[in-house]
Amino acid sequence: MKNGLRTLRAEHGWSQAELARRLGVSRQTVNAIEKERYDPSLPLAFEIARLFERRIEEIFEPRAGAESRG
């Protein structure tokens, strides 16, 4: 799953730790999502979308022809 989390986070001037705190997850989770090594659960994806006031599909995009690694 491709995502624009790092860009959105940078736009808000938040560190990974700050974003993790706002989402209630570990910094490792934020790092893994940003590096597209881990696909978040649906509740976490909704929480990310709510936090950045975007729709989920504006942040996450399925990688064509590739299986999830999360």
Partner 1 sequence: MQDDRAQAEDGGTRIWGCSACATPTDRRNARTANLWGVFWLPVFAASVWLLKHYGEHSLAVCVGALLLGGLGMVPFVRAQLRFLREADELTRTLHFQAMGVAFGVGILAAVFGGFLGKILELATGSPVAAEKFHSLNPLLAMIVAFMVAIAVLMRRYSR
CA distances from 56 to 28, 36, 41 (A): 21, 15, 12
Per CB under 8 A, 29 contacts partner 1: yes
Which of 48, 33, 39 lies closest to 68 in space, CA to CA? 39
Per CB under 8 A, 32 contacts partner 1: yes
Closer to partner 1 at the Cβ: 37 or 63? Answer: 37
Cα 48–44–16 angle (5° rounding)?
55
Closer to partner 1 at the Cβ: 29 or 56? Answer: 29
Query: Which residues of the shown chain bind partner 1 in the complex (CB under 8 A)?
Result: 15-17, 20, 24-29, 31-32, 35, 37-38, 40-41, 44, 70
